[in-house]
């Protein structure tokens, strides 16, 4: 069997903002080309995780090979990549795009261009894609296709005059999409006689097959039992089986140039298959490997601790298993005086953090506490060295520090006009500097530079509540800048609580400290002695609250008589309380930690 002629192959991905209908369109394309029978079709076929189905978001990029008999009498092979739309999973998008030549840009005909529509289109343009605009949800009463076409031309600069009009839900216009893919997207290029050159697009762990590797062949052919070498890690494997997804796994004998498929080769660990690596033949290797991708850099760190210390081993095993399928998630062990043993974990953003936490509690039945999320700071020391700081509790001695650099982001926010004032105030309060403000149709597009530290906390929630859910938000990390940052510690009964220490900007330390103390005062139950709660920077206390003591009325049995008898009893009680305070331990309930960490400004 020879490899398919390249003119009949089309590799494309679907890019869009969250909820504009990517996965539904993918379902319709699979259905109309007969990829699955009616009985096998489920809603959002490609969203295989429960969380994906429930939240209605795509987390992992998926791929499908479809066969389509076109109007010109030829049969085409379409390789579809369904990509996530959320900013935290942008790395999934970029690597799927590298395996394709074209993209369908799906825009909701009622909502128009959103922040992540822009971000994902720019990803596709960076990958030199041919882009076909598709207007979805044209059956809705609120749809305004003409206005949205203008918007696409105005904001993105794409010609939208021949955009395909569809409703992915009802199936209107799906044949037009298939024809547009075949006629308007370019076929892949490749040389079947050159040495094998394949891009490792993704890899995941399967309990029966070991690691399954998704590849896109650029040159040469990939056969069963061939010995292949990973250029990046220099490891050699023998291919056990190859094939394609329709979305079911279907075995094949050969994959040729332009094709997208999978291989298994008894690989034990996903960590051995670096995404973006080039795969080539062991003997007749390619001399120029593919450019690959930048590895996904975690930007948000937080500690995860089991509520029950006995679950520590279960947590370690669970993290190992998650790491098998998500190479962008990193973790290392740490211990805390307040919370015991746990892990310091790195994530790509807050949604990524939330999803990993949810998967740990759901798939592995673990009860977890997360410490306040923090970002990676670069610390320039007086002796010229540089240190990366992931946990504020590990800040070196202040006298040794020259300056602290924090990551900044460029944020793009699209919002209806009436919420603009509140959003500008929110960005100003978070130490943002405004870069640009202009109008896209009836909506304002604001561009701000913000410190990531301020965004990580609860920026997204605040943005959604100010704009009643209408604002959309996208960001990219730009650079590291020096900031006037100080470490704020929380002391309970004069003991520092390491899980609550954080790096804050000096100008905001006092308000943040006061809010934290007030919050803890409500959350920590009364003891038999007074408990001071203080926020301190170094040796200087900047905020304080006191929890009053529970009192037993010791003078109840005195009636009448001399006042000195009452005084004597009260003094005796006071002595006891003083002693108790020295030896007494303050019990901080777990809920208090969790609530204090979720603190609103």
Q: For 490-554, give the secondary structure using H, E and C.
A: EEECCEECHHHCEEEEHHHHHHHHHHHHHHHHHHCCCCCCCEEEEEEECCEEEEEEEECCCCCCC
Outline where 60-215 has alpha helix (H). 90-98, 115-126, 145-151, 174-184
pLDDT value at residue 101: 85
Residues β-bridged to residue 260? 216
CATH number of the domain at 404, please.
3.30.70.240
What would you report as the CA-atom Rg of the chain, rounded to the nearest whole angstrom? 29
Q: What is the pLDDT, as a whole number, of residue 154?
A: 80
| Dihedral sign for Cα atoms in the order 115, 119, 120, 125 | positive
Shared domain for 45 and 143, answered yes or no, is yes
What number is the average pLDDT over the span 29-56? 54
- Name the β-bridge partners of 411: 448, 475
- Residue 260 sits in the same domain as residue 309: no
CATH number at residue 231: 2.40.30.10
Q: How far apart are CA 75 and CA 10, in angstroms?
A: 11
- Confidence tier at 57 by pLDDT (50, 70, 90): very low
Instruction: Report how far residue 95's alpha carbon sits from residue 123's, in angstroms, rounded to the nearest whole number.
Output: 10
pLDDT at position 1, please? 36
Statement to judge: residues 166 and 258 lie in one domain: no
Q: Give the CATH number for residue 504.
A: 3.30.70.2570
Q: Do residues 165 and 104 make contact, with C-beta atoms less than 8 angstroms apart?
A: no
Alpha-carbon distances of 422 from 13, 241, 388, 468, 579, rounded to whole Å: 36, 57, 35, 11, 51
Q: What is the CATH number of the domain that holds 340?
A: 3.30.70.870
Q: Are residues 425 and 562 in the same domain?
A: no
Count the alpha carbons within 13 Å of 521 in the hemisphere toward its beta carbon.
18
Average pLDDT on 512-523 reads: 83
Mean pLDDT (the chain, rounded): 78
Q: Which of 59, 57, 80 is nearest to 68 (CA)?
A: 80
- Whichever domain contains 161, its CATH number is 3.40.50.300
* Average of per-residue pLDDT across 49-76: 65
Q: Give the integer Cα–Cα distance in Å for 294 and 276.
A: 8
What does the pLDDT average to over 343-365? 80
Rounded to 5 degrees, what are φ and ψ at 457?
A: -70, -70
Of the residues 130, 150, 184, which one is the last residue of a structural domain? 184
For residue 224, being part of any structural domain is answered with yes
Please indicate if the annotation marks 19 as binding a ligand.
Answer: yes
Residue 559 maps to a domain: yes
Least confident of 78-92, 205-219, 357-371, 487-501: 78-92
pLDDT of residue 36: 56
Is 75 known as a binding-site position? no
Query: In the structure encoding, which two tokens stand for residue 309, read together?
Result: 């210390």
Q: Is 538 annotated as a binding residue?
A: no
The reply to whether 140 and 202 lie within a common domain is: no
Q: Do 468 and 325 fall within a single domain? A: no
Residue 470 resides in a domain? yes
What pLDDT, on the 0 to 100 scale, is given for residue 326?
A: 67
**Stated pTM of the model:** 0.66
pLDDT by residue (tens digit) across 68-94?
A: 887 877 888 888 876 665 555 566 566
Contacts of 50 (CB under 8 A, 6+ apart): 362
The dihedrals phi and psi of 107, each to the nearest 5 degrees, come to -125, 135
pLDDT at 414 over 60: yes
Tell me which of 371, 398, 432 is where a domain ends: 371
User: Could you tell me if residue 263 is inside a domain?
Assistant: yes
Which one is predicted more confidently, 50 or 313?
A: 313
Using the predicted structure, report yes or no on whether residue 596 has a pLDDT greater than 50.
yes
Judge whether residue 44 has pLDDT over 50: no
Together in a domain, 364 and 397 = no
Per DSSP, the chain holds a count of helices (H) and strands (E) of 13, 32
Same-domain check for residues 171 and 249: no
Specify the pLDDT at position 334. 81
89-98, 212-221, 499-508: the lowest-pLDDT one: 89-98
Do residues 406 and 451 touch, judged by C-beta distance below 8 A? yes
Calpha distance 408→456 (Å, rounded): 11
Asked if residue 292 is part of any domain, the answer here is: no
509 near 486, Cβ under 8 Å?
yes
The β-bridge relationship of strands 130-136 and 164-165 is: parallel
**Cα separation of 417 and 437, whole Å?**
12
Give the structural domain span for 435.
378-483
Least Cα distance to 266 among 231, 237, 232 occurs for: 237
Give the pLDDT of residue 298.
76
Q: Is the pLDDT of residue 56 over 60?
A: no
Which two structure tokens, joined as six digits, stand for 165?
């009009």
The answer to whether the annotation marks 139 as part of a ligand binding site is yes
Distance, in Å, from the CA atom of 256 to the CA atom of 252, rounded to the nearest integer, reads 11
Lowest mean pLDDT among 312-316, 369-373, 432-436, 567-571: 369-373
Residue 391 assigned ligand-binding role: no
66 in a structural domain: yes
* Residues 316 and 344 grouped into a single domain: yes
d(CA 2, CA 54): 43
Partners of 236 in beta bridges: 229
Res. 52 pLDDT band, cuts 50 70 90 = very low
Q: What DSSP letter does each residue of 250-313 carry, written as one string?
A: EEESEE-TT-EEEEE-----GGGS-TT-EEEESSS--SS-----PPPPP-EEEEEEESSGGGHH
Geometric angle at alpha carbon 598, from 504 and 487, rounded to 5°: 20
Q: Could you tell me if 411 and 456 lie in one domain?
A: yes
Q: Is 396 exposed, middle or buried (0-12, 13-18, 19+ CB in 10 A)?
A: exposed
Residue 560 maps to a domain: yes
Q: Is 390 within any annotated ligand binding site?
A: no
Per the listing, tokens 């029950």 go with 308
Max Cα–Cα distance, the chain, nearest Å: 113
pLDDT of 45 higher than 70 = no
pLDDT digits (tens, 9 = 90+) for 214-269: 888 888 888 888 888 888 777 888 888 888 887 677 888 888 888 888 888 887 77
What does the alpha-carbon distance between residue 29 and residue 146 come to, in Å, rounded to a whole number? 25
Q: Tell me the helix, strand and coil percentages in the chain, rounded to 5.
A: 30, 35, 35
In a domain, 288, yes or no: no
* Number of domains forming the structure of the chain: 5
Q: Is there a single domain that holds both residue 230 and residue 341?
A: no
Q: Give the model's confidence band at 592: pLDDT under 50 very low, under 70 low, under 90 confident, else very high.
A: low
- Which DSSP symbol is given to 154? I
Whether residue 23 is annotated as binding a ligand: the answer is yes
Asked if the model's pLDDT at residue 557 lies above 80, the reply is no
Share of the chain above pLDDT 70, in %: 84
Express as a percent the part of the chain with pLDDT over 90: 0
Q: Is 22 annotated as a binding residue?
A: yes
Following DSSP, what letter does each residue of 330-393 receive, concatenated? EEEEEEETTTEEEEEEEESSHHHHHHHHHHHHHHS---EEEPPPEE-EEEEETTS-EEEES-GG
Determine contact, residues 385/456, Cβ cutoff 8 Å: no
260 and 387 together in one domain:
no
The residue among 219, 246, 281 that closes a domain is 281
CA angle 485–489–493, rounded 5-degree value: 165
């Amino acid at each position: 069997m020879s490899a398919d002629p390249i003119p009949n192959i089309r590799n494309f991905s679907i890019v869009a903002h969250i909820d504009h209908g990517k996965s539904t369109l993918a379902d319709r394309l699979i259905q109309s080309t007969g990829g699955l029978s009616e009985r096998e079709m489920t809603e959002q076929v490609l969203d295989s995780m429960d969380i994906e189905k429930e939240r209605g978001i795509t987390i992992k990029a998926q791929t499908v090979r479809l066969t389509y008999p076109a109007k010109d009498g030829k049969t085409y092979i379409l390789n579809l990549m369904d990509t996530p739309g959320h900013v935290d999973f942008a790395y999934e998008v970029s690597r799927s795009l590298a395996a394709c030549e074209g993209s369908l840009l799906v825009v909701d005909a009622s909502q128009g261009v959103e922040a992540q529509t822009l971000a994902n289109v720019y990803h596709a343009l960076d990958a030199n894609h041919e882009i076909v605009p598709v207007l979805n949800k044209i059956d809705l009463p609120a749809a305004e296709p003409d206005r949205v076409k203008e918007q696409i031309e105005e904001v993105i600069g794409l010609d939208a005059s021949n955009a395909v009009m569809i409703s992915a839900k009802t199936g209107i216009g799906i044949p037009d999409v298939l024809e547009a893919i075949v006629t308007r997207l370019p076929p892949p290029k490749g040389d079947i006689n050159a040495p094998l050159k394949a891009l490792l697009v993704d890899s995941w762990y399967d309990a029966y097959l070991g690691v399954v590797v998704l590849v896109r062949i650029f040159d040469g052919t990939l056969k069963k039992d061939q010995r292949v070498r990973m250029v990046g890690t220099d490891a050699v494997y023998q291919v056990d089986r190859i094939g394609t997804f329709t979305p079911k796994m279907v075995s094949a004998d050969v994959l040729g140039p332009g094709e997208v498929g999978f291989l298994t080769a008894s690989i034990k660990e996903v960590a051995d298959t670096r995404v973006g690596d080039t795969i080539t033949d062991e003997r007749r290797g390619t001399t120029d490997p593919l450019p690959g991708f930048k590895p996904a850099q975690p930007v948000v760190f937080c500690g995860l601790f089991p509520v029950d210390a006995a679950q520590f081993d279960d947590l370690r095993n669970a993290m190992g298993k998650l790491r098998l399928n998500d190479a962008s998630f990193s973790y290392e062990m740490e211990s805390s005086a307040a919370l015991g043993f746990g892990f310091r974990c790195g994530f790509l953003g807050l949604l990524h953090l939330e999803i990993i936490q949810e998967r740990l509690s759901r798939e592995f039945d673990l009860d977890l506490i997360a410490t306040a999320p923090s970002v990676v700071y670069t610390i320039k020391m007086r002796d010229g060295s540089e240190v990366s700081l992931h946990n504020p509790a590990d800040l070196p001695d202040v006298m040794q520090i020259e300056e602290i650099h924090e990551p900044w982001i460029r944020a793009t926010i699209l919002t209806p006009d009436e919420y603009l004032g509140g959003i500008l105030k929110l960005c100003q309060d978070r130490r943002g500097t405004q870069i640009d403000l202009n109008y896209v149709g009836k909506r304002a597009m604001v561009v701000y530079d913000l410190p990531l530290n301020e965004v990580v906390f609860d920026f997204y929630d605040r943005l959604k509540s100010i704009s009643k859910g209408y604002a959309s938000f996208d960001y990219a990390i730009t650079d590291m800048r020096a900031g006037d940052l100080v470490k704020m510690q929380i002391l309970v009964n004069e003991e520092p609580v390491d899980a609550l220490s954080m790096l804050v900007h000096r100008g905001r330390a006092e308000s943040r400290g006061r809010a934290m103390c007030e919050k803890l005062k409500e959350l920590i139950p009364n003891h038999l002695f007074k408990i001071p709660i203080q926020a301190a920077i170094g040796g200087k206390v900047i905020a304080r609250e006191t929890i009053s003591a529970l009192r037993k009325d010791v003078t109840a049995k005195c009636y009448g008589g001399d006042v000195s008898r009452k005084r004597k009893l009260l003094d005796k009680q006071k002595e006891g309380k003083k002693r108790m305070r020295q030896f007494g331990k303050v019990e901080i309930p777990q809920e208090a930690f969790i609530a204090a960490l979720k603190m609103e400004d």
